[in-house]
A and B are shown apart, each in its own frame.
Chain A
Amino acid sequence: MSDKKYQITIGIETHVQLKTKTKLFSEVDNDARGKEPNSCVSPVDYALPGMLPRLNEDAVKLAIRAGSAMNAKINSRSRFDRKHYFYPDSPKGYQITQFFSPIIGEGSITLPSGKKIRIEHAHLEGDAGKLSHFDSYSLVDLNRVDTPLLEIVSMPDISSAEEARDYCKELWRNMVYAGVTNGDLYNGNMRFDVNISLKKPEDKALGTRAEIKNLNSFRSVERAVEYEYSRQSKLLDNGEKVIQETRGWSDATGKTTSQRSKENAQDYRYMPEPDLAPLNLSEDFIKTEYEKCPELPEDYRKRFKNSVSSDTIEIILDYPELARRLAEVEENNSNEDTVNYIANLFSSVLLAEENSSLLNDPLPDALKLSELAEMKAKNELSSTSAKEVFLKMFEEKHLGKSARILAKELNLIQENDSSALEKIVETVLLNPSTKKAQEDYRSGQEKVLGFLVGQVMKESKGKANPSAVSEILKKKLK
């Protein structure tokens, strides 16, 4: 979206479902995937009279770890507040959130491009229930009520659709690497609300913004921003006003549409939550959780800077387990070629369409992978054979086997021992069927060497190293 008449300003609010065992305010299962409606609901979630919220310590800890993944300041003092609205998916008639004093302060996310997007703050809150609609009625499922959410609010530092997509993706990567969420976008583990406004480059003030709610894929974020740019710029071109409102996105139509203006006019009547104690976290408590944050994408980029091409790194970074395994390979064999070779096996073989199913199986351990890379480097395996061995490593029946044992079993190890090769070459040269070719070569027709090499390979049942064979032939036919 370059050479644009209007500058686009984008801020994004991201809802991250935290992967605690239990809900934010009750001791029921927080993972309702594949469970029956309302089977993960406590009397607290159901909002019976006289029920009080019971704060989950691990939600606080995961929030701190998420903060660490955004290099954010953790506020030692924070508290909960009530945000009021009537809706069938909100049993209490209010959402418990952190409006006045959130747990996480300013931080930032660095995009692969190197650009920093500032985080304004992030706060803990409870998710809402789910409604399903039928022609004459709707049904209420409260399983998702008060699943812990971390709402991460960016500064309006994002200035294009691609950047919006990259920010969401990089934030997703950081949250997944930090281990605070399952990051399953399809199941709504992360949802994005995108605020978009346009202004003329010369204008100081930002334009009126529209908020596109509940986007759940990087692609739809990018498309929604592109659509909004054209929608708002058309309005501005015709001298019309952009209305500040909430809009919904449809992947099917590729359009955003205005949602009930009633919602926009809402007054949430925020109030401090009297049923929960305020948080006053000690430095030690914060430090302990902060340091539990494992290596993040940015760390892996640094780690592999010299060994792996940045394109390959970015591909691999979408798969935390691949990045971690590659790091292990590096740790027990610092040889950069090995790391690079395995990185390429991952990106070009494992991530190839036809092998996608393998991603669900356990990855071969770092030892096997390093050994495989060495055998390839020593020409004990041709690159085709190496790929074959790598793919076989995923098969149930080969799981226990080292790369070498497996390669032997598959009969793929190349013969490099020259004395052994010479014997084979001699038998081939003594074979009358090669007489003519030998004469032709001596008389200067070098291309027949290929035929002779072929004969030797056949004799060696493909195990000979072709380049070594042709060297020997050349010597013998002088």
Chain B
Amino acid sequence: MKVANKSTSAVSLVKSALEKIEKYKDKNIFTFINQENALKKAEEIDKKIRNGEQVGRLAGVPYALKDNFLSTEGETTASAKILTGLNSPINSTCAEKLEKEGAIMVARTNLDAFAHGSSTENSFFGPTKNAYDDSRVAGGSSGGSAVAVALDCVEFATGTDTGGSIRQPASFNGVFGIKPTYGTISRYGVVAMASSTDVVGFFSKSASDLDLLMSIASGRDSKDQTSLPDFYGTSDFSLEKKKIGLIKEFVESPALNPEIKSAFDEKVSLFKSKGYEIVELSLPALEYALAAYYIIQPAEVASNLSRYDGIRYAYRTKNLKDESSPEKSPLDLLFSNTRSEGFMRENKRRIMIGNFVLSSGFYDAYFLKAAKARTLIIKEFEKAFEKVDAILSPVAPNPAFKLGEKVDDPVSMYLEDVMSVPVNLAGLPAVAFPAGFTSENNKDYKTPVPLGLQLIGPRRSDKNLIALAGEIV
């Protein structure tokens, strides 16, 4: 990526970023543009360079921050009405590390409210459009970040991936995206979705950029007791087996779009030509991953969204009277109206599902059952990685779908996550990478849209996956 130096000024980098951001206004990529601060920071970096002072590894690099990262620059909304007006006094650990290396946040990106969605249509600020086709979705939940990188508005963008929210929009917009091993990057200051699968990751235009970003952002954070001691910086590229696996159940799925299938086969032969052995794997428990995920994730969502009550910060309802239910006190209404007015429909669905699977009488049948299914999924992956170094897989069964196509049919929307959520349940790393476009003569996609695939590895194999992705793109 372009870093500021004697010949290229940080100000010029930031300015061209701001121009692109302006140019693509209509894509609805951003929730906030950091014009003033960004330019000020750029000038400071240029001054340092002029004075021959030390500057960081990301000096003057413009980047976009997904709007579910707390930031003192602009409101932090997670694209949800209920967080509007929140001027955070705190920055996320991830952003602090990036800024310490000189990176400059030029804008905040749109997402499905609280990252609940696979299309960025569930945003209080409206949907973000696909980088290549305005009639199609950006994917989600990190749709804004993916499109911002795809359209070259920024060098890189942050994202969060709870069930595919980095990899799926990356593949819908033809960029690289990493979902690190659970705990690799601190979650401190990142609005929680489902804590046991939430990870922080990145979008970029190259594998080498991902590598640099990972080496900067990884590591233990005393403010996140689930964060792992740094392994990324100390690990290096090493494949003992030179074997790549493919998941029979995914590849043979009738739901898999033929365009993605052929892109997949292409990469398979490319791996072969590079001397990798391809191993077919069967992971039957994955068939249940999506169901397990849509029990565990809503449960944690319902819990994590309990704190949004209108009392301590952000949106608070003005409607403290309700003739229809006189038994409700103004305080009751402060809670329930703030939440009803502040959450999107999809947020409410997940909160209610979550409260159902946790409620007395249903916990064992749903939440506990799903937690056991999770164990089986983890075991199957562990067995698989005794045989192979990494698994090649589609990210989603289909390329970017039409805006409005699935937004009112939650289950069909959830089914788009079927190939991404198993990775999250197991806490594994995965890298999504571009794999061409739909063909010109495909009448379903008049405007060709990107295709994406992912490489999945055992825990802590993040560096290998990034290198492998670099090898075959």
Q: Is the CB of B192 within 8 A of A49?
A: yes
Q: Is the CB of B90 within 8 A of A48?
A: yes
B325 to chain A, nearest CB (A): 13
Name the B residues within 8 Å of A270 (CB-CB). Answer: 358, 363
A275 to chain B, nearest CB (A): 5
Q: Is the CB of A50 within 8 A of B312?
A: no
B226 at the interface (CB under 8 A from A): yes
Name the B residues within 8 Å of A82 (CB-CB). Answer: 303
Q: Is the CB of B190 within 8 A of A50?
A: yes
Are A92 and B225 CB-contacts (below 8 A) given A50-B190, A86-B335, A271-B300? no
**How far, in whole Å, are A276 and B187 apart by their CA atoms in the complex?**
13
Name the B residues within 8 Å of A55 (CB-CB). Answer: 225
**How far, in whole Å, are A276 and B195 apart by their CA atoms in the complex?**
10
Q: Is the CB of B358 within 8 A of A271?
A: yes
- CB nearest neighbor in B for A82: B303
Name the A residues within 8 Å of B226 (CB-CB). Answer: 52, 274-277
| A residues 82-106 touching B (CB-CB < 8 Å) | 82, 84, 86, 88, 91-94
B74 to chain A, nearest CB (A): 15
Q: How many A-B residue pairs have CB under 8 A?
A: 95
A203 at the interface (CB under 8 A from B): no
| B residues 258-272 touching A (CB-CB < 8 Å) | none
Main secondary structure of the interface of B (DSSP, over half): loop
Which of the residues B189, B225, B360 comes within 8 Å of A50, measured between beta carbons?
B189
Q: Is the CB of B76 within 8 A of A49?
A: yes
Q: Is the CB of B303 within 8 A of A54?
A: no
**How far, in whole Å, are A276 and B303 apart by their CA atoms in the complex?**
15
A97 to chain B, nearest CB (A): 13
| B residues 3-47 touching A (CB-CB < 8 Å) | none
**How far, in whole Å, are A276 and B363 apart by their CA atoms in the complex?**
21
**How far, in whole Å, are A138 and B196 apart by their CA atoms in the complex?**
36
Q: Is the CB of A52 within 8 A of B313?
A: no
A138 to chain B, nearest CB (A): 8
Q: CB-CB contacts of B109-123 with A at 8 A, as 1s and 0s? A: 000000000000000
Which of the residues A49, A88, A91, A140 comes within 8 Å of B83, measured between beta carbons?
A49
B212 at the interface (CB under 8 A from A): no
Residue total for A at the interface (Cβ-Cβ under 8 A): 29
Q: Is the CB of B92 within 8 A of A92?
A: no
**How far, in whole Å, are A212 and B313 apart by their CA atoms in the complex?**
34
B188 at the interface (CB under 8 A from A): yes
Q: Is the CB of A52 within 8 A of B358?
A: no
- CB nearest neighbor in B for A93: B306
A47 at the interface (CB under 8 A from B): yes
A53 at the interface (CB under 8 A from B): yes
A267 to chain B, nearest CB (A): 5
Q: Is the CB of A50 within 8 A of B367?
A: no
A269 at the interface (CB under 8 A from B): yes
B86 at the interface (CB under 8 A from A): yes
Q: Is the CB of A274 within 8 A of B222?
A: no
B311 at the interface (CB under 8 A from A): yes
A46 at the interface (CB under 8 A from B): yes
**How far, in whole Å, are A271 and B224 apart by their CA atoms in the complex?**
19
Q: CB-CB contacts of B227-247 with A at 8 A, as 1s and 0s? A: 000000000000000000000
Are A50 and B307 CB-contacts (below 8 A) given A269-B355, A269-B358, A275-B226? no
A112 at the interface (CB under 8 A from B): no
Name the A residues within 8 Å of B306 (CB-CB). Answer: 84, 86, 92-94
Q: Is the CB of B225 within 8 A of A276?
A: yes
Name the A residues within 8 Å of B360 (CB-CB). Answer: 267, 269
**B interface residue count range (under 10 / 10 to 19 / 20 to 34 / 35 or more):** 35 or more
Q: CB-CB contacts of A161-180 with B at 8 A, as 1s and 0s? A: 00000000000000000000
**How far, in whole Å, are A276 and B307 apart by their CA atoms in the complex?**
18
Q: Is the CB of A49 within 8 A of B191?
A: yes
Name the B residues within 8 Å of A88 (CB-CB). Answer: 309, 311, 331
Which of the residues A48, A271, A276 comes within 8 Å of B88, measured between beta carbons?
A48
Are A52 and B307 CB-contacts (below 8 A) given A274-B300, A275-B195? no
Q: CB-CB contacts of B291-310 with A at 8 A, as 1s and 0s? A: 00000000110110111110
**How far, in whole Å, are A274 and B358 apart by their CA atoms in the complex?**
14
B197 to chain A, nearest CB (A): 9
Among A43, A48, A88, A267, find the residue whose CB has the most chain B CB atoms closer than 10 A: A48
**How far, in whole Å, are A53 and B222 apart by their CA atoms in the complex?**
10
Name the A residues within 8 Å of B190 (CB-CB). Answer: 50
Name the B residues within 8 Å of A276 (CB-CB). Answer: 225-226
Q: CB-CB contacts of A429-455 with B at 8 A, as 1s and 0s? A: 000000000000000000000000000
Q: Is the CB of A271 within 8 A of B90?
A: no
Q: Is the CB of A84 within 8 A of B303?
A: yes
Name the B residues within 8 Å of A54 (CB-CB). Answer: 222-223, 225
Name the A residues within 8 Å of B355 (CB-CB). Answer: 269
**How far, in whole Å, are A315 and B190 apart by their CA atoms in the complex?**
56
B70 at the interface (CB under 8 A from A): yes
| B residues 335-362 touching A (CB-CB < 8 Å) | 335, 355, 358-360
Among B224, B307, B308, find the residue whose CB has the most chain A CB atoms closer than 10 A: B307
- CB nearest neighbor in B for A266: B360
B199 at the interface (CB under 8 A from A): no
**How far, in whole Å, are A94 and B83 apart by their CA atoms in the complex?**
19
Q: Is the CB of A271 within 8 A of B299?
A: yes
| A residues 1-60 touching B (CB-CB < 8 Å) | 43, 46-55
B378 to chain A, nearest CB (A): 15
Q: Is the CB of B358 within 8 A of A92?
A: no
- CB nearest neighbor in B for A85: B306
- CB nearest neighbor in B for A88: B311
**How far, in whole Å, are A49 and B79 apart by their CA atoms in the complex?**
13
A240 to chain B, nearest CB (A): 26
**How far, in whole Å, are A43 and B72 apart by their CA atoms in the complex?**
14
Q: Is the CB of B76 within 8 A of A140?
A: no
Are A52 and B187 CB-contacts (below 8 A) given A86-B335, A276-B225? yes
Q: Is the CB of A277 within 8 A of B303?
A: no
Are A52 and B223 CB-contacts (below 8 A) given A93-B307, A267-B360? yes
B149 to chain A, nearest CB (A): 23
Name the A residues within 8 Å of B92 (CB-CB). Answer: 50
**How far, in whole Å, are A383 and B300 apart by their CA atoms in the complex?**
72
List residues of chain A with CB under 8 Å of any chain B CB.
43, 46-55, 82, 84, 86, 88, 91-94, 138, 140, 267, 269-271, 274-277
30 A-B contacts (beta carbon < 8 Å): A43-B89, A46-B312, A48-B88, A48-B90, A49-B76, A49-B88, A49-B191, A49-B192, A50-B188, A50-B190, A82-B303, A84-B303, A88-B309, A88-B331, A92-B306, A93-B305, A93-B306, A93-B307, A93-B308, A93-B309, A94-B303, A94-B306, A267-B359, A269-B303, A271-B300, A271-B358, A274-B195, A274-B196, A274-B226, A276-B226
Given contacts A43-B89, A48-B70, A277-B225, 12 further A-B contacts (CB under 8 A): A43-B90, A49-B78, A49-B86, A92-B307, A93-B303, A93-B305, A93-B306, A269-B359, A269-B360, A271-B367, A274-B226, A275-B226
